[in-house]
Amino acid sequence: MTKLLASVKDKHEALMVLNAGVDIIDLKNPDQGALGALRYEDIAEIVALVNGAGITSATIGDLPMVPELIVQAMQSTAETGVDIVKVGFFPSARSLECIEAISALNQNGMKVVAVLFADRHPDFGLLDHFKHAGFFGVMLDTAGKDGRHLLDHLPLSKAGVFIEQAKALGLVSGLAGSLRLDHLHVLKPLNPDYIGFRGALCDEADRKLALCDTRLQTLKSMLHKNNIAMQNAVHA
């Protein structure tokens, strides 16, 4: 059953998402890029507010693929108590170095989700390396926030290949990337573990504005109905 990830930028939004029963409360700064990071003290404050009532994740920022920088940011983020740490993998000759450096953190119990970007020539061959390094999961997102969405950058069939490959490796899988509410019906049949939203849940569908509770409740209802329909189809 596909679950919902919603990205929030402050305590007010986190509480709204928590009360709505969203499955993963994703902490990020939408003013600082695709994976913009909140201040560590803000992450810690939100994690304390959630207090184990929901799963939290946090991004480390759009960092260059330099192992030392990434590991330092991941450690500082994990120290806030957040459940999952998300790290972006941009095209780089140093990707495998970064994976190797992160593997030690995975072995120490950190849950890490790698994020690949549909608009940055994602290398699905890295999924095998993520698995062997002990990563918790993988997501497919978009780096550019210019009004184009995930499926503007790669065909639905390729997103399906990503999900199938992740599941075969035992990695938790997710799809995101400037998705609209109506993308739910298109992506849900691929059966990702999570579908992530930010902009579609905000006032005027602008990811930099505040979350809108009406939009959030609409999406929750759509996902619930879609999950029930798929379950009924399986048992028909």
CB atoms under 10 Å from CB of 231, counted, come to: 11
Residue ranges of domains in the chain, CATH in brackets: 3-235 (3.20.20.70)
86: annotated active-site residue: yes
- Furthest C-alpha separation in the chain: 53
Residue 27, strand partner residues: 8, 58
Q: pLDDT tens across 182-226, in order?
A: 999 999 999 999 999 999 999 999 999 999 999 999 999 998 888
Of the listed 3, 11, 86, 145, which one is catalytic?
Answer: 86
Q: Tell me the pTM.
A: 0.94
Tell me whether strands 111-117 and 84-88 are parallel, antiparallel or unpaired. parallel
pLDDT reading at 14 higher than 80: yes
Amino acid at the residue 89: F
Q: pLDDT tens across 137-181, in order?
A: 999 999 987 889 999 999 999 999 999 999 999 999 999 999 999
Of the listed 3, 9, 11, 28, which one is catalytic?
Answer: 28
